[in-house]
Structure 1
Amino acid sequence: MSSVIAAHLPVLPVVLPAAAAVLLLVLGDAGLQRARSVALASAALMALVACMLLLRADTGALTVYRLGDWPAPFGIVLVVDRLAALMLLLTACTALPVLLYASAGWDGRGRHFHALFQFQLMGLNGAFITGDLFNLFVFFEVLLVASYALMLHGQGRERLRVGLHYVVLNLAASALFLIGVALVYAMTGTLNLADLALRVPAATGSEALVLQAGGLILLVVFGFKAALMPLSMWLPATYAAASAPVAALFAIMTKVGVYAILRVHGVVFGGDQSAAVLDVQSLLLPLALLTGVVAVLGALAAQTLPRLLAWLTVVSVGTVLTALGVGGAAAWSAALYYLAQSTLVTAGLFLLAELISAQRGETGGRLDSAPAVAQPQLLGILLLLGGAAVAGLPPLPGFVGKLMLLQASAGHAWVATVWAVVLAVGFCTLLALARAGAVLFWQVQSPLPAAPLAPAAGARPQQLLAALVPLALVFAMSIFAAPLQRYADATALQLGDRGAYARAVLGESNGQPINSTRPYRVVPAGGRP
């Protein structure tokens, strides 16, 4: 039995949430408690599977799962390397506390919350482990369709208004995605990422120009998904209008766009200099720096706590994409390290924001004076710690990630600009959070003697625990900073070894020349190295 599970381990991150979603739809609205148990069990199993895949990937093994046992590039393959395993575990670590929080009452405000949540996890996991560009599109659509319904969960006029914009813009991006995929397939005859990594650099003449056009279209799509300026203005209103657990889960969605840029443009369209190779870094770096600057200005001007956190999500994207724009293994390593901690801390802060808003009466999340919250010490300390993490104060992992980025940019032509923007954005982030904290916990209204205000009820222990878990994981990253940094370094080096990736997925008999200086073990679908 254990050998069967090991053989099919790579497909479980997709199959588990899909099966759970179908089961939840069959159960319907009959038993909410039963639905919660199924959803939480699925998320816990997914976390266990992600840990097992990460341990396997950390040995240097690259697991290739060929669906239907069809050889690549003709069949569909799932590929789990260090990067995919990291993203799977990050998704699980975000999803589990979010589900725990939602199970305290939010999931009962609309229909099929847990089924939609599982479908979104299926789309996220599939996007991270697919080895095919078209199936990347398919999994994008799965997670987006689920996110449309989750965005409207709990209803409300503002959610409907913002949700309509969100749907229309994503449908337009999906159409562009198909156009980019079609151009790439027309010139190469394949959409397998490993095969494309070999064929794209070999293209010349008009084929190379068409491939560049396809690559630029895909960059626009991925930039929109990642919230890269000037394509990110939709995000603050969307995330601020969503319910707290949905916004917390959406913290990982922008990272799907970042992942796609790294996987497609860093590997397929990067590498050796040829006619079809795109100089993405020269485009990405200034746009990423602009993203950080505009987003932190939005955070400083935000009038509500959820909108402030939404802008800080864009700030984190700008920092990660700045590292990708700098380029090189050291910068990629910094991007991955910072990506992990920023996702967790943002998710935790979205959950914490609702706990604070719920105790401020009619004022809610607006940054205005309001009655004192019921748990000022506890919530204030949590906001302080979360703010320190998102601003990148030492010795927290945000500081480590930014330090890695600054060191990696030392020899870059834009070194002065990178340092100035990264440091200034971090300082302004701290100012925005300090302003919010002062309003939320210091500018407290005194109740009128004639009309005393009812004391706010404290947060439920389950909700507090759920908000605390992501923040605790961020602080755990500080304790285990050295091994995590080594894993990020090894991941960046593995991504740069395009030849070994192609040999692992396509085998030795594909007829293409493969250059590799760092071969690693391959574990096929049967689990036999």
Structure 2
Amino acid sequence: MTTLTIAPVLVPLLAGIALLLTRHQVPLWLRRGLNLAAVGVQVAVALALLTAVGGGDVLTYNLGNWPAPYGIVLVADRLAAWMLLITALLAFFALLYAVQGTDRGSRHFHSIYQLQLLGLNGAFLTGDLFNLFVFFEILLLASYGLLVHGGGARRTRAGLHFVVLNLAGSTLFLFAAGTLYGVLGTLNMADLAVKLAETTPENLGMARTAGLLLFAVFALKAALIPLHLWLPEAYSATSAPVAALFAIMTKVGAYCLLRVGTLMFGPEAGPVAGLYATWLLPLGLITLLLGALGALSADELRRQVGYLVVVSVGLLLTAFGLDSTAGIAAGLYYLVNTTLATAAFFLLADVIACRRGASLDRLTAGPQMRQAGLLGGLFFLAALLMAGLPPLSGFVGKLLVLQAALDASSWPWVLASVLSSGLLAMIALGRSGSVLFFKTADALPAEAAPSAPVVASLGEWQETMRLVAVAGLLALCLGLLAASGPVLGFCTATAEQLLHPQGYIQAVLSPVTGGVDR
């Protein structure tokens, strides 16, 4: 069963290589089918892995049969399997949208897509800091190609900013990893957890400095204030399916903050305990409010959704910053809702832009859209999910965060920030919906939008499948609501496992290669 741990890395790696080698020989329709099939296999693998660790087992796979901490180890617990499943489901529907025409223009789109999944899956599974850096670089290199897919000045400019910021983050990551290795002699996260708890006073300052450098790197990936300014422009400039897939990218940063914060700097970390929790809560609250203000000021729907991603990051990290079982469980539940709803909103915004002609997704009066009733219904559902209004899963997630905050001394700040941001998001989305669906005017002349990308005409089947992809993501959010009880139970068990990491540490450092621990 432990060999299942490496499958989420092998499947996209082999699929990406196969798609790369056959880019000239295989027709596009077959490449699309192969890519969709590979992502479907990843969904099945993630479900199998989630079933395997659902009872509390921690599965490890030691590459090259080298025992930890000397070799590279992949670790699958509840949190890792949860993130893998979310990623695979999101990737399937984003790709289903992309194969309706967005993937044209580059023979490398499908192979890069699989390499992006390789980096994401590896980041969730690795138990080694340096290997985490390697998977970060894989997913970032792939994201650079996906971000500028289709070309255009705006995408190139956003891609340049994205590259520069992430190169700076990668440099800080190396400084942090080098410092930890120099002080503690290891980069295995389980081994680091043991040694950080026993850090001597003379090494304490260096250990804390390295930990805070890692915090800055993960905060950049998560788009935490003040490192968020790159996100709205990058996500609104790229193609819709890429933006939808990127909805999980910020969650990689949030995952790392949670994983490292609970494993290496958690309650049992001795002199460095609580290093991350101290910063997460205030920065999360500020991110929540400033992101909502950005959404309120946006003049394009896709840029507005980008700011709503920042809002969701703020709420997610606020929940994690409560540093309690209830808070982390609430955050893990909300993470599913916000990832899928954000992705659906990016896809829907592209459909709306295509049907408004030269008006695109600008929040100004435009022509009457075909199937305006259907699009308006999907918009209303996505808006409810993003704003956290009842009775959908976004509301349940926010309510769980508020309930968890009542046990914290900072509960007034949390309640005020969450409710205020929700009100601002509701106003912003209400304004957008009214402008897009109720204010009509003649279409803008083509010269009014010289930087607008050329939108290829789509057949009826392609338009239908695009709407199916949007509806599929929204249906998963409805399924999350229907299964709230079991899902919350799983999230609570995951939070307890994270806050008591001895099982994880024992499984990784066990002398039995590929050990399993409950």
Query: What TM-score results when the alignment is normalised by the length of structure 1?
Result: 0.92
- The corresponding residue for 1:231 is 227
Is residue 2:14 matched to residue 1:19?
Answer: yes
Cα distance in structure 2, aligned partners of 1:483 and 1:276: 34
- The corresponding residue for 1:159 is 155
Identify if the C-alpha distance between structure 1 residues 446 and 271 changes in structure 2 by more than 3 Å, giving closer, same or farther: same
- The corresponding residue for 1:488 is 491
- Asked if 2 retains the 8 angstrom alpha-carbon contact of 1:73 and 1:192, the reply is yes
Matches within 5 A, 1:263-302: 263-272=259-268, 274-302=270-298
Q: CA deviation at 1:372?
A: 0.6
- Asked if 2 retains the 8 angstrom alpha-carbon contact of 1:63 and 1:79, the reply is yes
Cα distance in structure 1, aligned partners of 2:44 and 2:182: 40
- Asked if 2 retains the 8 angstrom alpha-carbon contact of 1:215 and 1:278, the reply is no
- Asked if 2 retains the 8 angstrom alpha-carbon contact of 1:239 and 1:250, the reply is yes
Is residue 2:303 matched to residue 1:307?
Answer: yes
Cα distance in structure 1, aligned partners of 2:219 and 2:258: 11
Matches within 5 A, 1:62-77: 62-77=58-73
AA aligned to 1:491 is T
- Asked if 1 retains the 8 angstrom alpha-carbon contact of 2:345 and 2:382, the reply is yes
Q: CA deviation at 1:505?
A: 1.0
1:354 is aligned, of 350, 355, 372, to 350
- Asked if 1 retains the 8 angstrom alpha-carbon contact of 2:60 and 2:515, the reply is no
Cα distance in structure 1, aligned partners of 2:155 and 2:517: 49
Cα distance in structure 1, aligned partners of 2:390 and 2:517: 44
- The corresponding residue for 1:516 is none
Structure 1 gap segments, 5+ residues each:
1-5, 449-454, 510-523
- Asked if 1 retains the 8 angstrom alpha-carbon contact of 2:281 and 2:317, the reply is yes
Identify if the C-alpha distance between structure 1 residues 213 and 99 changes in structure 2 by more than 3 Å, giving closer, same or farther: same
Cα distance in structure 1, aligned partners of 2:482 and 2:260: 33
Q: CA deviation at 1:109?
A: 2.4
Is residue 2:509 matched to residue 1:506?
Answer: yes
Identify if the C-alpha distance between structure 1 residues 54 and 22 changes in structure 2 by more than 3 Å, giving closer, same or farther: same
Matches within 5 A, 1:454-493: 460-493=463-496
Matches within 5 A, 1:12-411: 12-30=7-25, 31-272=27-268, 274-411=270-407
Structure 2 gap segments, 5+ residues each:
445-456
AA aligned to 2:16 is A
Q: CA deviation at 1:35?
A: 1.1
Identify if the C-alpha distance between structure 1 residues 329 and 408 changes in structure 2 by more than 3 Å, giving closer, same or farther: same
Deviation digits for residues 353-389 of structure 1, max 9, x if unmatched?
1001100010001111111111101110000001001
Identify if the C-alpha distance between structure 1 residues 132 and 187 changes in structure 2 by more than 3 Å, giving closer, same or farther: same
Identify if the C-alpha distance between structure 1 residues 245 and 235 changes in structure 2 by more than 3 Å, giving closer, same or farther: same
Cα distance in structure 1, aligned partners of 2:48 and 2:41: 11
Cα distance in structure 1, aligned partners of 2:286 and 2:254: 16
- Asked if 2 retains the 8 angstrom alpha-carbon contact of 1:305 and 1:436, the reply is yes
Q: CA deviation at 1:105?
A: 0.5
SS of residue in 1 equivalent to 2:60: strand
- Asked if 1 retains the 8 angstrom alpha-carbon contact of 2:73 and 2:126, the reply is yes
Q: 439-448 or 424-433, which moves further after superposition?
A: 439-448
Q: 337-346 or 438-447, which moves further after superposition?
A: 438-447
AA aligned to 1:38 is L
Cα distance in structure 1, aligned partners of 2:247 and 2:8: 19
Deviation digits for residues 55-113 of structure 1, max 9, x if unmatched?
11112211111111111111111110000000000000100001110000010122310
Deviation digits for residues 465-497 of structure 1, max 9, x if unmatched?
111111100010010000000000000001112
Q: CA deviation at 1:350?
A: 0.5
Cα distance in structure 2, aligned partners of 1:447 and 1:113: 32
Deviation digits for residues 492-522 of structure 1, max 9, x if unmatched?
001112211111111169xxxxxxxxxxxxx
- Asked if 1 retains the 8 angstrom alpha-carbon contact of 2:322 and 2:405, the reply is yes
- The corresponding residue for 2:449 is none
- Asked if 2 retains the 8 angstrom alpha-carbon contact of 1:212 and 1:278, the reply is no
Identify if the C-alpha distance between structure 1 residues 498 and 273 changes in structure 2 by more than 3 Å, giving closer, same or farther: closer
- The corresponding residue for 1:445 is 441
AA aligned to 1:21 is G
Deviation digits for residues 316-357 of structure 1, max 9, x if unmatched?
000000011111111011111111110000001101110011
Cα distance in structure 2, aligned partners of 1:109 and 1:472: 30
Q: CA deviation at 1:527?
A: 8.2
Aligned length: 504
- The corresponding residue for 1:434 is 430
Cα distance in structure 2, aligned partners of 1:390 and 1:112: 33
Cα distance in structure 1, aligned partners of 2:368 and 2:401: 40
- Asked if 2 retains the 8 angstrom alpha-carbon contact of 1:296 and 1:425, the reply is yes
Q: CA deviation at 1:217?
A: 0.3
AA aligned to 2:15 is A
Deviation digits for residues 219-243 of structure 1, max 9, x if unmatched?
0000000000001011100101010
Q: 262-271 or 16-25, which moves further after superposition?
A: 262-271
Deviation digits for residues 230-277 of structure 1, max 9, x if unmatched?
010111001010100000000000000000001112220122363333
- Asked if 1 retains the 8 angstrom alpha-carbon contact of 2:356 and 2:366, the reply is yes
Q: 53-62 or 256-265, which moves further after superposition?
A: 53-62
